[in-house]
Amino acid sequence: MPDSENPVAADFIRTLIRKDNETNRFGGRVHTRFPPEPNGYLHIGHAKSIVLNFGIAEEFDGLCNLRFDDTNPSKEDTEYIESIIEDVHWLGYDWGNRLFHASDYFDQLYEYAVQLIKLGKAYVDDLSAEELRQQRGTLTEPGIESPYRNRSVSENLDLFQKMRSGEFPDGSRTLRAKIDMKSPNLNMRDPVMYRIKKESHPHTGDKWCIYPMYDYTHCVSDSIELITHSICTLEFEDHRPLYDWFLDQLNLYHPQQIEFARLNLSYTIMSKRKLLQLVKERYVSGWDDPRMPTISGLRRRGVTPESIRTFCDRIGVAKNDSTVDIALLEFCIREDLNKRAVRVMGVLNPLKVTLTNYPENQVEYMECINNPEDESMGTRLVPFCRELYIDYDDFREIPPSKFYRLSPGREVRLRYGYFIRCQEIVKDEKGNIIELRCTYDPETRGGFAPDGRKVQATIHWVSAQHALNAEVRLYDRLFNIPNPLGENENTQFTDFINPNSLTILQNCKVEPSLQSAKPTERFQFERVGYFCIDSRDSRPDCLVFNRTVTLKDIWAKIEASLNQKKS
């Protein structure tokens, strides 16, 4: 669902589909699929593929299936299946009654394999995995034909049947396609179609002890589902001849495979295997840790599905690999939250302020605008009292130049409140500032002085007596270099984990309107950033907020200043 402000650019895939529709190649049908392997949680790279496949289906009045590519029982898990279903729905897409599993087709795949054997196009090989590797050849040297390559059809049928009925141990035999050991394309050198794996499958239980390989399974599954355009990432380009070969030999309905460049993001890794390592080795709290690039992590962090979709539309699809700057994702998140998040006041590092000339038991309710971008979001009343909290960072005893916020003798504006002037600093015996004693000007309610005098800063606050306690978790990038994978052979991506990727502040104070806020709700803390209520850990007596994103691109600023210093 591309929104009207950001129409999807016509990319090469859409151009190709339009051409197929013009020539009536698939009878004008457009039917795509998203085929995750349930061996981990979905990440932002998968979102690119989801938005592309489901987006194209919507745009062309077509359909998109969700298909679990569940051919490897040892790595797959129902936890992953459930999370994938939740994540695709959350991103805003639906597959109707078209949720499939490659394992739904195991019977059919077996029948087709028998057919290939009968056609003399597949054979049972007794070589071990290691021997297969050795005989496969290289890019410059042809492969070697297996001594079992020319078995008779009947012997192959018999052996394949025995493989299926569990007569041979794991790894002792394979079924291979009989293509060409001299092919310049290694994928065409008699690829393995089936292997023996005596393992229970999350979906088919103990029915099978042989499992079909991805390349064979994928094209047949696409064909069975009458997919028109089978969109996949670039590394499958060299597999396309094999995709075509199976379907041609079996004389099956033939979808078009189309490859596009996968998403790479700076400061991010996306391989599920590596993400699993981060979880297992406890670098993060789980797959949905808000620092993870997983859909569930982004969701927990407060990112909206709309901003992910906008991001995917903006990066577009291309035929060559590139890395997208994570700042673009952050920009899309900020832009979207700016439109929808209610503004509130929250103080991360509270410093008590007493307004010495404010009546002891008085409470005033200040009308605050919920979102200046959207009047329809209305206003709310926030209590104002004699004792307030402001942020430590908004005060300096000795202000450096260009620091315009509160300091001794200086006057600033309290947002939606009054002008206040700092008269006195209270310190504890160690010399830490524990309180400021200020005066307020009763004439300045609403933030303007009748005599026209100006102040140079507006700061936020909460009423001490009304404030709610909160824990705030500040997240930063999980890696401290743009490409944690590609440094050199002697480094591991875990060497580049940012030790400051999580800062927990436990004594924060937020305005009382947040009492009714629900888990996952998102807010802008004025002047501070965007936050959401943590879906797991937040409690009524202590709200827990995750920082989704800062207000401005602090990193870009820091980096720019570092670069300036260097040059």
Catalytic residue annotation: 37, 262, 272
Stretch that binds ligand ATP, among 200-208, 268-276, 349-357, 440-448 (CB under 6 A): 268-276
For residues 42 and 220, give the distance between their C-alpha atoms in angstroms, rounded to a whole number: 24
Q: Residues 228 to 247: which contact ligand ATP by CB under 6 A?
A: 232-233
Burial class (CB in 10 A: 0-12, 13-18, 19+), 401: exposed
CB 475 within 8 A of CB 301: yes
> Using the rule CB under 6 A, which residue among 157, 224, 270, 276 binds ligand ATP?
270
Number of H helices, E strands in the chain: 13, 27
> Using the rule CB under 6 A, which residue among 173, 195, 239, 272 binds ligand ATP?
272
How many residues comprise the chain?
Answer: 567
Specify the residue, 214 or 403, whose C-beta has the smaller distance to ligand ATP. 214
> Using the rule CB under 6 A, which residue among 13, 17, 20, 35 binds ligand ATP?
35
Q: Which pair of tokens denotes residue 55?
A: 């987006």
Q: What string of DSSP letters covers 383-426?
A: EE-SEEEEEGGGB-SSPPTT--SB-TT-EEEETTS-EEEEEEEE
For residues 35 and 268, give the distance between their C-alpha atoms in angstroms, rounded to a whole number: 23
The binder of 48, among ligand ATP, Mg ion, none, by C-beta within 5 to 8 A per type, is ligand ATP
> Using the rule CB under 6 A, which residue among 13, 17, 30, 46 binds ligand ATP?
46
Q: Which residues pair with 342 in a beta bridge?
A: 523
The binder of 233, among ligand ATP, Mg ion, none, by C-beta within 5 to 8 A per type, is ligand ATP
The binder of 191, among Mg ion, ligand ATP, none, by C-beta within 5 to 8 A per type, is none
Q: Give the sign of the dihedral formed by CA 298, CA 301, CA 305, CA 311.
A: negative
The binder of 328, among ligand ATP, Mg ion, none, by C-beta within 5 to 8 A per type, is none
Specify the residue, 324 or 449, whose C-beta has the smaller distance to ligand ATP. 324
For residues 541 and 247, give the distance between their C-alpha atoms in angstroms, rounded to a whole number: 61
For residues 524 and 337, give the distance between their C-alpha atoms in angstroms, rounded to a whole number: 8
CB 406 within 8 A of CB 412: yes
Binding site residues, Mg ion, CB under 5 A: 37
Contact flag: residue 45 with ligand ATP (CB under 6 A) = yes
Residue facing ligand ATP at closest CB distance? 45
Stretch that binds ligand ATP, among 31-39, 91-99, 104-112, 491-499 (CB under 6 A): 31-39
Contact flag: residue 49 with ligand ATP (CB under 6 A) = yes
Q: State in angstroms the smallest separation of the CB of 199 from ligand ATP.
A: 19
Stretch that binds ligand ATP, among 32-40, 203-211, 412-420, 550-558 (CB under 6 A): 32-40
Burial class (CB in 10 A: 0-12, 13-18, 19+), 67: buried
In the DSSP assignment, the letter for residue 558 is H
The binder of 484, among ligand ATP, Mg ion, none, by C-beta within 5 to 8 A per type, is none
What residue has token string 């407060």?
Answer: 302
Q: State in angstroms the smallest separation of the CB of 37 from Mg ion.
A: 5
Find, among 213, 272, 243, 194, the residue nearest to 71 by Cα: 213
Strands, DSSP E only, in 210-341? 210-212, 229-233, 256-260, 263-265, 322-324
Q: State in angstroms the smallest separation of the CB of 436 from ligand ATP.
A: 51
In the DSSP assignment, the letter for residue 294 is B
Q: Which of helix, strand or coil describes residue 377?
A: helix
> Using the rule CB under 6 A, which residue among 271, 322, 379, 503 binds ligand ATP?
271
Contact flag: residue 36 with ligand ATP (CB under 6 A) = yes
First to last CA, the chain: 45
Find, among 24, 50, 35, 45, the residue nearest to 220 by Cα: 35
Contact flag: residue 48 with ligand ATP (CB under 6 A) = yes
For residues 126 and 175, give the distance between their C-alpha atoms in angstroms, rounded to a whole number: 9
What residue has token string 């940012």?
Answer: 498
- How far is C-alpha 514 from the chain's CA centre? 27
In the DSSP assignment, the letter for residue 456 is S
The binder of 263, among ligand ATP, Mg ion, none, by C-beta within 5 to 8 A per type, is ligand ATP
Specify the residue, 312 or 345, whose C-beta has the smaller distance to ligand ATP. 312
Contact flag: residue 217 with ligand ATP (CB under 6 A) = no
Specify the residue, 36 or 290, whose C-beta has the smaller distance to ligand ATP. 36
For residues 193 and 245, give the distance between their C-alpha atoms in angstroms, rounded to a whole number: 13
CB 549 within 8 A of CB 334: yes
Specify the residue, 49 or 174, whose C-beta has the smaller distance to ligand ATP. 49
Q: State in angstroms the smallest separation of the CB of 496 from ligand ATP.
A: 18
Specify the residue, 108 or 271, whose C-beta has the smaller distance to ligand ATP. 271
The binder of 291, among Mg ion, ligand ATP, none, by C-beta within 5 to 8 A per type, is none
Q: Kindly state the number of chain residues that form the binding site for ligand ATP, as judged by CB under 6 A.
A: 15
What one-letter code names the amino acid at 168? F
Specify the residue, 260 or 461, whose C-beta has the smaller distance to ligand ATP. 260
Specify the residue, 215 or 288, whose C-beta has the smaller distance to Mg ion. 215
Specify the residue, 271 or 362, whose C-beta has the smaller distance to ligand ATP. 271
Stretch that binds ligand ATP, among 110-118, 266-274, 296-304, 445-453 (CB under 6 A): 266-274
Q: State in angstroms the smallest separation of the CB of 37 from ligand ATP.
A: 4
Q: State in angstroms the smallest separation of the CB of 195 from ligand ATP.
A: 18
Residues at the interface with ligand ATP (CB under 6 A): 35-37, 45-46, 48-49, 69, 232-233, 262-263, 270-272
